[in-house]
């Protein structure tokens, strides 16, 4: 059995990338769902502002998603750079 | 002391059966307790509707239990069928089948308990709606069972696939990854779909005129909630049916295992988020039917955006399978 | 089960490079386009005040999509982008429904089709953003809230393309694989048509709608 150091490092990078993206997708997914949930309720209460509420929801979700994007960046760096 | 392959296969088959049934019992028990609690509350509120409530409690519990029955089936197959013992690969197959079905039963069972509980409460509030409520509950909890069916399909494919000629070294990780991917990814979809169905039952009892719109919105929301589970299933089929050349290196194995973990974990969060969105959308529609089309549109957009982190997880998994 | 994920490819050597064509996706795309052209011609052939059945369907689809575009963008912009949005939706629906016909496959099952459409939406959104806001305001948006966020802002814009196209690809591919596996496992006559109806018609329509709406939303976020 010749397991080399480089192989172990690469294997750990693969596992690390998967854990980073897997766990990193959990939080933003739930959070963005909550944003959209409140937006739906708000439109139910005040349908005339639907356009504004949709835009606010999208901006809020984009900000919420940023941690997911950090995970994506870290995972891609681990896979293709390290 | 030499332990032959047959012994190891038996060890893992029994452990797999334990995992499948042990984890698989969690969700059904929670859901049935939840339903019974709501039924008690409902009977105390409106004793004259107790017949209808009792009936719908039993039906709802039976549906919630079907996920646990799938787990039982898988556990039985693992324990009693004679599997070949020509390769150590079977050790991982048994474990993966158990993990897939065990985790896969949790979400679906918990999810299908929600609409049953809500239907009981709704019948106490609005006894004349018990017919439509029972139908809506049946549809809603049946859709909640789809993630468990995905897990069942994955387990059966894992157990009855022909593995002759496949190398042990990276294939074990692919098989284990396939089990984890389907198993974990179905948790969120099951619970999320249940949240939507619960709110639609409650809304129907509160505002009987909205019944048709609520059922339609519920089905739409539940269909979108299933998509992360479909991604999990996609990744696990790719893992099961991809063939890698034999290698002693650690990297390909870890990449395949990682693909499963990444997709499994990454799908459960967005699915839950989508479920929360759908729940609120259904609630908003039940309070303000005139805004239904606006709310449905925003719900779909919001769900699609919530799903994007799950899609990043899928992209990373695909990179791990095909690029690394 | 061997054909799972196999793609028919035509590889043409071209001045030292290999050009790869996915024959199936190209042929199926053309079939979808021909279906749409026939539908359009039949629907618009006899335009009358009392419309025929096909004209009603056509007017319903186009009218509703135009209304949605007006709601998301505004009246002025909807005139400009409405045709694009309608065409995108109709094309996607035709593509996603193609799989329910035996021997035909969804062109959206090939990642290149959704990716191309996603890139199309991306470029249109950013081009119209630069047109309406001016290059300076457009570029300044990337430096918010701090200038350090520049690379992350760029990544998050690109991630939108990834998510929009892989969403379509994952759903259609997942549906096709589930149908394939279920038909392989069970020799049931009822199950595959039911699954085909669910994944092909229902999920296909929802995903086409989501793709179209998100493209509209991306345009509106850039423009406003």
Q: What are phi and psi of C19, to 5 degrees?
A: -90, 125
Q: How confident is the model at residue A2 (pLDDT cuts 50, 70, 90)?
A: low
- Tokens standing for residue A66: 């940023």
Contacts of C162 in chain B (CB under 8 A): 311-312, 315
Task: Identify the pLDDT of residue A59.
Answer: 86
Nearest residue of C to residue A55, measured between CA atoms: C221
Q: How far is C86 from chain A (nearest CA, A)?
A: 20
CB–CB of B266/A22 below 8 Å? yes
DSSP element (H, E) containing C21:
strand C17-22
Identify how many contiguous H helices and E strands chain A contains and give both numbers: 3, 0
Question: Looking at this predicted complex, what is its ipTM?
Answer: 0.93
Return d(Cα B163, Cα B161) in angstroms, integer: 6
Return d(Cα A69, Cα C149) in angstroms, integer: 12
Is residue B324 classed as helix, strand or coil in its secondary structure?
Answer: coil
Nearest residue of C to residue B299, measured between CA atoms: C210
CB–CB of C82/C65 below 8 Å? yes
Chain C CB within 8 Å of residue B300 CB: yes
CATH 3.30.930.10 fits B8-322, yes or no: no
Specify the DSSP class assigned to residue C200. Answer: I
For residue C101, the tally of other CB atoms under 10 A from its CB is: 12
Is residue B164 classed as helix, strand or coil in its secondary structure?
Answer: coil
Q: How far is B54 from chain A (nearest CA, A)?
A: 32
Strand partners, C22: C9
What CA–CA distances, in Å, run from B169 to B56, B104, B242?
Answer: 51, 27, 14
Q: What is the pLDDT of residues A11-47, one digit of tens each?
A: 999 999 999 999 999 999 999 999 999 999 999 999 9
C-beta atoms of B311 and C167 within 8 A? yes
Nearest residue of B to residue C215, measured between CA atoms: B301
Q: How far is A50 from chain C (nearest CA, A)?
A: 9
CB–CB of B101/B71 below 8 Å? yes
Q: Which of B227, B274, B306, B307 to mutate to test the interface with C (most CBs of C within 10 A)?
A: B227
Burial A7-41 (b: 16+ CB within 10 A, else e): beebbbbbbbbbbbbbbbbbbbbbbbbbbbbbbbb
Upstream peptide bond of C145 is cis (omega within 30 degrees of 0) = yes
C-beta atoms of C206 and B220 within 8 A? yes
Give all domains of chain A, ordered by start, each with its CATH number: 5-80 (1.20.20.10)
Is the alpha carbon torsion for A37, A39, A45, A48 positive or negative?
negative
What ranges in chain B are assigned the alpha helix state H? 5-45, 50-80, 89-125, 130-144, 146-160, 168-206, 211-241, 251-287, 292-306, 308-322
C-beta atoms of C185 and B157 within 8 A? yes
Q: What is the pLDDT of residues B15-52, one digit of tens each?
A: 999 999 999 999 999 999 999 999 999 999 999 988 88
Question: Which positions ≥6 away from B73 have C-beta within 8 Å?
Answer: B152
* Mode of pairing for the β-strands spanning C17-22 and C9-14: antiparallel
- The number of C-beta contacts closer than 8 angstroms across A and B is 203
Return d(Cα C135, Cα B117) in angstroms, integer: 56
What CA–CA distances, in Å, run from B173 to A17, B47, B56, B168, B246?
Answer: 16, 56, 44, 9, 12
Task: Identify the pLDDT of residue C183.
Answer: 79
Nearest residue of C to residue A64, measured between CA atoms: C156
Return d(Cα C193, Cα A26) in angstroms, integer: 34
C-beta atoms of B291 and A68 within 8 A? no
C-beta atoms of B316 and A75 within 8 A? yes
Q: Which of C155, C160, C215 to mutate to test the interface with A (most CBs of A within 10 A)?
A: C155
Closest CA to C75 of C83, C66, C84: C66
C-beta atoms of A17 and B316 within 8 A? yes
Contacts of C5 in chain B (CB under 8 A): 238, 241-242
Sort B285 into a burial class: Cβ within 10 Å, 0-12 / 13-18 / 19+: buried
Task: Name the residue ranges covered by the structural domains of chain B.
Answer: 8-322
C-beta atoms of C221 and A58 within 8 A? yes
Question: Which positions ≥6 away from B85 have C-beta within 8 Å?
Answer: B4, B5, B6, B9
- Tokens standing for residue C191: 């199950």
Task: Identify the pLDDT of residue A1.
Answer: 52
Q: Which chains touch C (3 or more CB pairs under 8 A)?
A: A, B
Q: What is the pLDDT of residues A67-77, one digit of tens each?
A: 898 999 999 99
Task: Identify the pLDDT of residue C157.
Answer: 86
CB–CB of B137/B123 below 8 Å? no
Specify the DSSP class assigned to residue C145. Answer: S
Q: What are phi and psi of B44, to 5 degrees?
A: -65, -30
- Tokens standing for residue C214: 């998100």
C-beta atoms of C155 and A69 within 8 A? yes
Q: Which of A6, A10, A22 to mutate to test the interface with B (most CBs of B within 10 A)?
A: A22
For residue C172, the tally of other CB atoms under 10 A from its CB is: 28
Q: What is the pTM of this model?
A: 0.88
C-beta atoms of C156 and A69 within 8 A? yes
Chain C CB within 8 Å of residue B174 CB: no
Task: Name the residue ranges covered by the structural domains of chain C.
Answer: 9-223
Q: What angle do CA C6, C206, B265 make, to 5 degrees?
A: 65
Tell me which residues of chain B have a pLDDT lower than 70: 1-3
Per-residue pLDDT of chain C (224 residues; tens, 9 = 90+): 555 555 667 777 777 777 788 888 899 999 999 999 999 888 888 777 777 788 888 888 888 888 888 888 878 888 888 899 999 999 999 999 998 888 888 888 888 899 999 999 999 999 988 988 888 888 888 887 777 778 888 888 888 898 899 989 888 888 888 888 777 777 777 777 888 888 888 889 989 998 998 898 888 888 87
Return d(Cα B225, Cα B196) in angstroms, integer: 9
CB–CB of C17/C90 below 8 Å? no
Contacts of A76 in chain B (CB under 8 A): 316, 319
Contacts of C152 in chain A (CB under 8 A): 66, 69-70, 73
Is residue C15 classed as helix, strand or coil in its secondary structure?
Answer: coil
DSSP element (H, E) containing C9:
strand C9-14
DSSP element (H, E) containing C7:
none
Closest CA to B123 of B196, B206, B60, B58: B206
Task: Identify the pLDDT of residue C8.
Answer: 66
Return d(Cα A26, Cα B265) in angstroms, integer: 7
Closest CA to C119 of C153, C155, C171, C164: C164
Owner of token pair 């957009």: B301
Task: Identify the pLDDT of residue C14.
Answer: 75
CB–CB of C167/B312 below 8 Å? no
Return d(Cα B278, Cα B143) in angstroms, integer: 14
Owner of token pair 């409140």: A38
DSSP element (H, E) containing C18:
strand C17-22
Return d(Cα B185, Cα B226) in angstroms, integer: 10
Return d(Cα B96, Cα B154) in angstroms, integer: 9
CB–CB of B120/B42 below 8 Å? yes
């Amino acid at each position: 059995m010749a397991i080399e150091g480089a192989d172990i490092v690469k294997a750990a990078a693969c596992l690390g990338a998967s854990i980073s993206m897997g766990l990193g997708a959990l939080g933003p997914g739930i959070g963005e769902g909550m944003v959209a949930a409140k937006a739906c309720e708000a439109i139910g209460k005040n349908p005339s502002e639907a356009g504004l509420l949709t835009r606010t929801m999208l901006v809020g979700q984009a900000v919420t998603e940023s941690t997911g994007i950090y995970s994506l960046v870290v995972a891609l760096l681990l896979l293709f750079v390290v | 002391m030499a332990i032959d392959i047959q012994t190891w296969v038996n060890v893992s088959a029994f452990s797999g059966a334990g995992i499948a049934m042990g984890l698989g019992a969690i969700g059904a028990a929670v859901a049935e307790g939840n339903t019974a609690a709501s039924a008690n509350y409902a009977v105390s509120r409106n004793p004259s509707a107790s017949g209808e409530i009792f009936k719908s409690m039993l039906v709802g519990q039976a549906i919630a239990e079907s996920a646990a029955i799938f787990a039982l089936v898988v556990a039985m197959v693992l324990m009693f069928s004679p599997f070949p013992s020509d390769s150590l690969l079977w050790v991982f197959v048994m474990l993966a089948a158990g993990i897939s079905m065990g985790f896969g039963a949790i979400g679906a069972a918990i999810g299908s308990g929600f609409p049953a509980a809500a239907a009981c409460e709704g019948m106490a509030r609005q006894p004349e709606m018990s017919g439509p409520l029972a139908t809506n509950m049946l549809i809603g909890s049946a859709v909640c069972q789809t993630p468990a069916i995905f897990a069942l399909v994955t387990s059966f494919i894992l157990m009855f696939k022909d593995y002759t000629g496949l190398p042990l070294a990276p294939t074990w990780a692919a098989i284990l990854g396939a089990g984890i991917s389907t198993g974990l990814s179905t948790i969120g979809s099951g619970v999320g779909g249940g949240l939507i169905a619960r709110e639609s039952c409650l809304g129907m009892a509160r505002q009987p005129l909205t019944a048709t719109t609520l059922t339609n919105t519920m089905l739409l929301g539940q269909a979108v909630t299933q998509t992360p589970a479909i991604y999990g299933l996609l990744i696990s089929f790719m893992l099961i049916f991809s063939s890698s050349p034999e290698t002693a290196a650690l990297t390909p194995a870890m990449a395949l295992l990682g693909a499963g973990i990444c997709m499994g974990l990454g799908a459960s969060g967005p699915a839950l988020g989508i479920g929360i969105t759908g729940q609120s959308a259904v609630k908003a529609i039940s309070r303000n039917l005139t805004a239904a089309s606006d709310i449905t549109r925003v719900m779909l957009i919001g769900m699609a955006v919530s799903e994007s982190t799950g899609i990043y997880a899928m992209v990373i998994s695909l990179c791990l399978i095909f690029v690394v | 089960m061997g054909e799972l994920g196999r793609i028919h490819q035509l590889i043409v050597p071209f001045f030292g490079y290999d050009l790869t064509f996915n024959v199936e996706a190209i042929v199926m795309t053309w079939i979808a386009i021909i279906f749409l052209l026939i539908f359009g011609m039949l629907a618009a052939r006899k335009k009358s005040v009392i419309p025929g059945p096909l004209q009603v369907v056509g007017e319903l689809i186009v009218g509703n999509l135009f209304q949605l575009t007006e709601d998301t963008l505004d009246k002025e912009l909807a005139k400009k982008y409405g045709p694009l949005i309608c065409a995108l939706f109709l094309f996607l629906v035709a593509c996603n429904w193609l799989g329910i016909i035996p021997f035909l496959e969804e062109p959206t099952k090939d990642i290149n089709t959704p990716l191309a459409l996603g890139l199309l939406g991306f470029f249109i959104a950013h081009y119209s953003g630069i047109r309406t806001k001016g290059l300076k305001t457009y570029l300044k948006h990337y430096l918010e809230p701090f200038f350090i966020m520049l690379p992350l802002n760029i990544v998050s814009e690109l991630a939108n393309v990834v998510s929009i196209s892989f969403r379509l690809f994952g759903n259609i591919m997942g549906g096709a694989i589930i149908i394939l596996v279920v038909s392989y496992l069970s020799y049931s006559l009822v199950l595959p048509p039911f699954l085909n109806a669910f994944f092909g018609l229902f999920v296909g329509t929802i995903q086409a709608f989501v793709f179209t709406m998100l493209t509209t939303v991306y345009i509106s976020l850039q423009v406003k």
